Structure 1
Amino acid sequence: MRALRTMFSRGDRTILGRWFWTIDRPLLGMVLLLMGIGLIAVAAASPAASQRLSGANYTYADLYFLKRQVIWVAIGLPVLIAVSMLPKLWTRRLALLGTAGGLAALAALPFLGDEGTNGAVRWIIIGGSQVQPSELLKPMFIVTTAWLLAFRFDDPKVPAIPASGLLLVLIVALLMIQPDLGQTVLVSSIWVAQAFIAGLSATLLAILIAIGAVGILMAYLFVPHVTSRIDRFITGEGDNFQAERSIDAIRSGGLFGTGPGEGQAKFSLPEPHTDYIFAVIGEEFGMIACLFVAILFLAIVVRVITQLFDEDDPFVTVAAAGLAAQIGLQAFINMIVALDLLPSKGMTLPFISHGGSSFLALCIGTGMLLSLTRRSRFLTRAAEPEMRLGAT
């Protein structure tokens, strides 16, 4: 960031200059730091992931997943920056178009989707790569929901909460057809938080929480793989392989870790480069590194919230809060699953886990967050000396 400061003066009126002096640079810096940590973590997990997926002999030079992650970062970072340059109007338009496209893709999954584990159909194969529509839909839905809820601030009689609620119900129905309980819980929780910011009453909030609890109970009773995961988590009996291997990896690392490339427990860890990459960080870099990652995610959420205290636009407030909640809540779920405090959800650690559609979706969502929280105060301050000179 310091190098960039020397490139642009405060009075720079070019597109890049205006972007640099209006963007939330601390927030962008924390996201870039997470991406850097992700490259290191994927490099540590790559040999283990290659061995588990190929079943063949491996070497530490086998960094297939790291090479792929470098490609995703090379694609995702320009996307993030490009989206962050959009004016608010175009960010909202992008969200509306993305929501419509995401809903169409979710509806097409039963017919065009590729079946994964437990019979779940969550991916579409495009050009040899798996694309998960629900990941790309999340940030679009969050901003679209904020746009709908913002109408309530202009006219409290507008049924903004019921309208956005109907959109949520449609998405939840499409997600449960897959089925994908983890994404359903995440999207629903974010919507509840946004609706509460928009004025949802405490009574309705309690009712919605009760409905959510009933929904989870129904999934437990009627969705076999959900039943199995929850039973294993509660009783500790049966095939609890994933949780046991994750805890073994974290324990073997202790406070300071075994050192880069020295971890051995990761080779028996399921999905070490995606769902359980937090355990790889714990084994090779220690619990102190895990704590640093957790604090970094918390700092991102706190940064966004504090920036919104001075925000006058309700649309920006609700949208930015929702996008920050997505990053924070998804990271929280991934980390506590790795610590065996929650049943496995198949959810990635934002910006750190290896991924394609998940990583790109996070870059788009963060670009939207940076776009919506851009402030013109820097340009205003830069123009003040010129105004004073003109006045004299």
Structure 2
Amino acid sequence: MSDAAETESSNRDVRRRVSKQLGRGNTTRAGMWFWEVDRVLLLLAMLLIAIGLVAVAAASPATARRYSDATHIMPAMHYFWRQLMWVCLSVPVLIGVSMLPITLARRLALIGAAFFLLLLALVPILGSEANGARRWIDLGVSDLQPSEFLKPFFIVATAWMLSFRAKDPELPVLFITGGVTAVVAVLLMLQPDFGQTIVFGTVWLILLTISGISALAIGGLIGTAIAGVVAAYLFYGTARTRIDNFLFPTKEAALADRYQVDMAHQTLSAGGLTGAGPGSGQVKFKLPEAHTDYIFSVIGEEFGLISCAVIVLLYAAIVIRVFMKMLDEEDAFRLLAASGLAAQFGVQAMINMAVNTGIAPSKGMTLPFISYGGSSMIALSIGYGLLLAFTRRNPYLKRSPYTGRWSKG
């Protein structure tokens, strides 16, 4: 046999072995995960993470210059290399969590919710202060933001409690979950973190709506939420300052919150439709927190408004795909958990982009998978991993068009 024939035969053997390993007959955990996981959702997450690395690379020189001084000059790509490190840690976490069985994923979320709720309560005592807020616990090598990790665990725990309504509608789960949400809101407002409070409250309302509570109850809760915002304006100084600076800007306010919002809008629109080009943006050097809260504006300046529109579509695609996938889900817990996690992902992205476009006042909230941040990246990876775990489907089961039940095809 000639060398060419031997090489071709060897290649066929390799392809056959790989095909067998990745085939639907592979019953190992990794093999089953490959066929069960929603690969479109996984691909969308990887796209956002890749876009995030490019965006942080674009924003890093501006942030490095802002935080450099006479005694310490930061390398221009300092934040990019750190973000690359966080991505290398976060992606395996995302994949690992997505491989968990449903019962183990639920157990992890319940334990995580209790643990990070305790840490959130300790933030006013142990937390370190930055930019006038006490939201982080200093671990030495990095800062931990308990509220970021609490979000996905809180959603799954709330979904678990609300799922009991499917068995007994008389259970007082609305009041129990409402009480827990109120405790979280109070702890967040002590930091202060009004933006995260809105996220927790909004996702809770979405979960209640999906769980099937009456329209009258939903109307009452929306009215209560509006009353809560009014009360926050009247009695909560941070909320009043942010709202006043946004709606009734004065010269003094323009030097603080309004300056950030205005600069974000200028940076976003500076690149036009197609952008100034990678590394060519100049307005970003005047923008505070270009690598975190206002990275969407940096993308607009360097890569254009078309790129911003693509990012919006990617977030929308994730939320829509999850909700469409859950339309025929019979398990109340999986329905609520997956929908709640997708809603949190979409709400957080929407708030961040609203701030960058000048529609909403500054909130100090990251853009999921794109903004720089260790706590944010790992917490989002855990949440997205849970989302992938709850949306997994067994490829060997098919739903009957007559009974609606799943069975072997």
> TM-score, normalized by length of structure 2?
0.89
Structure 1 residues 379 and 56, CA gap change in structure 2 (3 angstroms): farther
Contact 2:59/2:295 (8 A) holds in 1: yes
The worse-fitting range, judged by mean Cα deviation, of 73-82 and 125-134 is 125-134
Q: What residue in structure 2 maps to residue 51 of structure 1? A: 65
Indicate the residue corresponding to 2:15 in structure 1. none
Any idea what SS the aligned residue of 1:257 has? coil
- 1:195 aligned onto 2:212: no
Cα offset, 1:235, TM superposition: 2.3
RMSD: 1.9
Alpha-carbon distance between aligned partners in 2 of 1:38 and 1:55, rounded to the nearest angstrom: 27
Q: Percent identity?
A: 49
2:332 — aligned with what?
Answer: 314
For 1:213, the aligned partner's letter is: I
Instruction: Answer yes or no: is 1:302 the counterpart of 2:320.
Output: yes
Is 2:118 aligned against 1:112? no
Q: Distance in 2 between matches of 1:88 and 1:111?
A: 35
Report how far residue 17 of structure 1 moved. 0.7
Aligned-partner SS, 2:138: strand
Tell me the residue number matched to 2:96: 82
In the alignment, is residue 135 of structure 1 matched against residue 153 of structure 2? no
Question: In structure 2, what is the Cα distance between the partners aligned to 1:173 and 1:233?
Answer: 23
Measure, in 2, the Cα distance between the counterparts of 1:140 and 1:65. 28
CA distance in 2, matches of 1:48, 1:205: 45
For 1:56 and 1:218, how far apart are their aligned partners in 2? 45
Q: Note the alpha carbon deviations across 1:117-154, whole angstroms, 9 max, x for none.
A: 23x21110013311110010000000000000000001
Match of 2:107 in 1: 93
Letter in 1 for 2:316: L
Of residues 220-229 and 364-373 in structure 1, the stretch that sits farther from structure 2 once superposed is 220-229
Residues of 2 paired with 1:163 and 1:221: CA distance? 27
Q: Distance in 2 between matches of 1:115 and 1:234?
A: 27
Q: CA deviation at 1:199?
A: 1.6
* 1:1-392 alignment, distance < 5 Å: 8-55=22-69, 62-118=76-132, 120-237=133-250, 238-239=253-254, 240-376=258-394, 378-380=395-397
4+ residue segments displaced more than 6 Å: 57-61
| Structure number with bigger Rg | 2
Instruction: Return closer, same or farther for 1:60/1:263 CA change in 2, 3 Å cut-off.
Output: farther
The separation in 2 between residues aligned to 1:170 and 1:53, in whole angstroms, is: 36
SS at match of 1:121: strand
1:227 is displaced (CA, Å) by: 2.0
* Gapped regions of structure 2 (runs ≥ 5): 1-17, 399-407
**Whole-Å separation in 1 of the counterparts to 2:152 and 2:121:** 18
Contact 1:47 1:59 in 2 (8 A): no
Aligned partners of 1:62 and 1:306: how far apart in 2? 43
Change (3 A) 1:213 1:56: farther
More displaced, 238-247 or 331-340?
238-247
Larger displacement relative to structure 2 (275-284 or 221-230):
221-230
Aligned-partner Cα distance in 2 for 1:345–1:201: 32
Work out the CA distance in 1 between the residues paired with 2:180 and 2:297.
36
Determine if contact 2:161/2:173 at 8 Å carries over to the other structure: yes
CA spacing shift, 1:289–1:60, aligned 2, 3 Å: farther
When residues 374 and 56 of structure 1 are mapped into structure 2, their CA distance, relative to the original with a 3 A threshold, is farther
The offset of 1:98, in angstroms, is 0.5
Contact kept? 2:271, 2:300, Cα under 8 Å? yes
What is the DSSP-based 3-state SS (H/G/I as helix, E as strand, rest coil) of the residue aligned with 2:396?
Answer: helix
User: What is the count of residue pairs matched by the alignment?
Assistant: 377
**Could you say which structure has the greater relative contact order, defined with CA pairs below 8 angstroms and 6 or more residues apart?**
1
Q: Is the 8 A contact 2:67 2:74 kept in 1?
A: no
- One-letter amino acid of the counterpart of residue 50, structure 2: G
TM-score (norm 1): 0.92
- The residue that corresponds to 2:6 in the other structure is none
- The CA deviation at 1:58 is 11
Task: Find the aligned partners of 2:396 and 2:286 in 1 and give their Cα distance.
Answer: 54
Q: Which amino acid aligns with 1:305?
A: F
The AA in structure 1 aligned to 2:272 is G
Residue 30 (structure 1) shift:
0.2
Displacement of 1:380 in angstroms is 4.3
